[in-house]
Amino acid sequence: ETGVTQTPRHLVMGMTNKKSLKCEQHLGHNAMYWYKQSAKKPLELMFVYNFKEQTENNSVPSRFSPECPNSSHLFLHLHTLQPEDSALYLCASSQRATGVAGYTFGSGTRLTVV
């Protein structure tokens, strides 16, 4: 039990599809994050939610749409993706946005866009 659960583990989607990634944490954290992990590149921070409010959007294309209905759940809605969006998408959580204790990560969703 990792504390941060991501579903699905793998996802293959066409460029015209709409899908959603889900992240759930049961650690009592109130900050949640989406990261994109591509080969040979540093993890890229996409979105930050602090107390359910989006506090960071790192110039992410609008084809990625986050949703945070409460402090325990985070979604990433996907539509009209491109092949270069294929990557591992990692969700993380922390206590507030200070992160000084480190983030807790899920196991990610491996996304392939065909």
Partner 1 sequence: AQTVTQSQPEMSVQEAETVTLSCTYDTSESDYYLFWYKQPPSRQMILVIRQEAYKQQNATENRFSVNFQKAAKSFSLKISDSQLGDAAMYFCASFGNEKLTFGTGTRLTIIP
Long-range contacts of 96-100 (CB under 8 A, 24+ apart): 96/30, 96/31, 96/50, 96/51, 97/31, 97/48, 97/50, 97/55, 99/31
Contacting partner 1 (CB under 8 A), which of 1, 16, 41, 83? 41
Does the protein bind partner 1 through residue 112 (CB under 8 A)?
no
Contacting partner 1 (CB under 8 A), which of 92, 93, 111, 113? 92
Positions touching partner 1 (CB under 8 A) are: 2, 33, 40-43, 45, 48, 56, 88, 90, 92, 97-108, 110
